[in-house]
Amino acid sequence: MSVYRAVQVSGSRSFAAVQREAEEPGPGFVRLRVEACGVCHSDVLAVEGLRADPSVPVVPGHEIVGVIEAVGEQAGSWQVGDRVGVGFLAGHCGECDSCRRGDFVYCQNQQQTGTTVDGGYAESVIAKATGLVRIPEGLSSHEAAPLLCAGLTTFMGLRAIDAAPGALVAVQGIGGLGHLALQYADKLGYRVAAIARGAAKAELAYSFGADHYIDSSAQDPGVALQELGGAAAVIATASSGASMSPLIPGLALRGRLVVLGASDDPISVQTSDLIFGGRSIVGSLTGTPSDNEDNLRFCLAQGIRPMTELMPLAEAAKAYEHMMSGQARFRVVLDAAV
């Protein structure tokens, strides 16, 4: 295509539907025809103007699945027609100190898709070859899109906990991240406790693989976890530091609180809870493209799928508002063909 549709944003929540001229990819880059793009909470960085210069328009979206339609020089083995994904990290440089040590997630020169470079609320996007993820046959583009960020984030958080099969692992927050974390934890062989406010999500939690449900509005979740034997790990997905604080006393010896949900308020912890029991609190960001390919293969083999609501690209602003309302069940995906 010579001209494509995009939904860009400037300032704070100032969306605009535009037409742009398609560009040829430069060295190390490809151009994708976008098929689907997930709407993620991290899109707030672009949409709410939380970036260096919010007056400069940017196209949000970093859960992108599309088909390569043009390949620049020095782009490796990628070919026109390959179905690929792009996540939050836009591709490592391969030259900084982190990259030289093999820590590509923390590349010091890496762009953020949909925040510092244009993302997937569009029919076309230029993507760096080092950030591309192969999409396996058997996963539709609409299913794969949320797995590239929400899925990968929870998958990598669970891979980091080093707990034995059958250990108790809790998932706090049954939303866009949490409903996937429950499925991963179940398929990884853990005994799974779901933690959420109220009883409304209990049935859903059990359907996603939970063995236990803890209503944090009715009982102290830390006490409830200890009554179950203590959690080897808690995967904290809710965007609230205050809601994470009571979970720490529920950890087993050497248990780990893995923080995935970004929040403005702090986590409070008693030093004794950490010292007497070797407990720890860690953050987990995302993974590399090869980690993401492992993630997608695992999802395909184990039947892990996001619960999605599909909306047309033209309604990107409405889709974002729906996601932010907390009423989406559970991931909103834009269809770039509509």
* Segment 227-250, tens digit of pLDDT: 999 999 999 999 999 999 999 999
Say if residues 302 and 147 touch (Cβ distance below 8 Å): no
Q: What pLDDT does 159 receive?
A: 95
Q: What pLDDT does 246 receive?
A: 97
Both 25 and 81 in a single domain? Answer: yes
* Within a domain: 272: yes
Question: With a threshold of 0.85, does the pTM exceed it?
Answer: yes
Q: What is the mean pLDDT of residues 187-209?
A: 97
pLDDT digits (tens, 9 = 90+) for 306-328: 999 999 999 999 999 999 999 99
Domain that holds residue 322: 3-146+307-335
**Residue 157, Cβ density class (10 Å: 0-12 exposed, 13-18 middle, ≥19 buried):** buried
- What average pLDDT does the chain have? 97
Amino acid letter for position 80: V
* Within a domain: 11: yes
What DSSP character marks residue 296? H
Residue matched to tokens 């899925």: 151
Q: What is the mean pLDDT of residues 186-200?
A: 97
* Within a domain: 96: yes
Both 274 and 328 in a single domain? Answer: no
- pLDDT for 1 beyond 80: no
Q: What pLDDT does 314 receive?
A: 97
pLDDT digits (tens, 9 = 90+) for 16-48: 999 999 999 999 999 999 999 999 999 999 999
Domain of 78: which CATH number?
Answer: 3.90.180.10
- pLDDT for 55 beyond 90: yes
* DSSP string for residues in 137-202: TTS-HHHHHHIIIIIHHHHHHHHTS---TT-EEEEE--STTHHHHHHHHHHTT-EEEEEESSSTTH
Q: What pLDDT does 12 receive?
A: 96
β-bridge mates for residue 331, sequence order? 308
